[in-house]
Structure 1
């Protein structure tokens, strides 16, 4: 991919919190920054990714089916610590190349989402690598571009809104059964929403309650909404892990969760951002 095209995508990605148009529109994209194997120079590349649970994401070194691995893959072999920008968070990660059956299962999941991956593999004699990027704990989360606590909250919420929108589109476009990667996508979303709400329950909400006693009724309602959403998350997880579940059943649960979650996020922002930014 030409460097000028890459740079255009990078700038659009950073300006729009991870959303881009063109060939990447509607896809999951991250910015991967690696250290040059020979030069030591930092290089940033837009790369499609697959959710893989709450602790890591997967990227595929397809290079469009070219005969050689992409430069970023050679870089992370030499220097496995990389920087990831996912549109919400910027974080350090450890890159691990998957091997054997683990690689094959992950690549098969990718093919389920798009037969383009299979076409890339068919074009080349090399086995296209699958790389896991696992977050390294380096301190408080870095929400790039956010200039206030309210902006941080909105950026995180927007990431949830976008992910559930992507999942709904994937379920609606799927066949009669639920593919393995789509199951992972749903479960990863559930883990992420749950972790965010736990962090709010244990951190932000008690802080607001202490500083703004007048917000007691608002916080009580938000707590009740967290409980409702937790029940919907449990139900979605139960449905997607069931054998031979129908796509229509999953879509109904995703719609229920989306309606409740989006209403909750809108209400929380309207009520809390004036307090935490004031």
Structure 2
């Protein structure tokens, strides 16, 4: 096993803990926003663990743009999956309500601004994608085990 693989396993173990769930939502997004802004959208600290984007979606209640750094699962063909795990906390993250109400959004991906359309996955498509998500990042299983809600999954498809 390489040092990189050992590091990834360590990060997976740490991110599955309840302590991480309490601290990470307050620290990780703030650090990601700052580094993303300072590097002109080219770097996010959390992308050292997982691929990451900055989602800009229209607020469901405010109607104003809301920027949220998020881990993502890139898929073949240029689509992305976003996981509304909220670090294993009880409520759905606000960005998921924003995408349900306003599915036209933008992501910043590796320094590029990409207009996307978001689709909430349901049924068989959600089940198949959830299995892929768990292979991609196993700690999502620990998050799901802690909550009484179905974790929302969105597929983002780039628009022309």
| Structure-2 separation of matches of 1:30 and 1:72 | 13
* 1:99 aligned residue (119, 122, 128): 122
Instruction: Quote the residue 2:154 is aligned against.
Output: 131
* 2:44 aligned residue (5, 12, 20): 20
Instruction: Quote the residue 2:57 is aligned against.
Output: 34
Shift of residue 7 of structure 1? Answer: 3.6
| Structure-2 separation of matches of 1:91 and 1:24 | 17
The within-5 A match list for 1:1-278 is 1-2=25-26, 5-16=28-39, 17-21=41-45, 23-137=46-160
The answer as to whether partners of 1:14 and 1:87 remain within 8 angstroms in 2 is: no
More helix by share: 1
Of 125-134 and 4-13, the range deviating more from structure 2: 4-13
User: CA 1:56/1:65 → structure 2, altered by over 3 Å: closer, same or farther?
Assistant: same
Deviations 1:212-253 (A, max 9, x none): xxxxxxxxxxxxxxxxxxxxxxxxxxxxxxxxxxxxxxxxxx
Q: Which has the higher contact order (CA 8 A, sep 6+)?
A: 2
Q: TM-score, normalised by structure 1?
A: 0.46
Matched position secondary structure for 1:126: coil
Question: Radius of gyration: which is bigger?
Answer: 1
Gaps of 5+ in 2: 1-24
The answer as to whether partners of 2:73 and 2:136 remain within 8 angstroms in 1 is: no
Gaps of 5+ in 1: 138-278
| Structure-1 separation of matches of 2:57 and 2:35 | 20
The answer as to whether partners of 2:79 and 2:158 remain within 8 angstroms in 1 is: yes
Shift of residue 24 of structure 1? Answer: 4.3
Shift of residue 73 of structure 1? Answer: 0.3
Instruction: Quote the residue 1:254 is aligned against.
Output: none
| Structure-1 separation of matches of 2:42 and 2:93 | 22
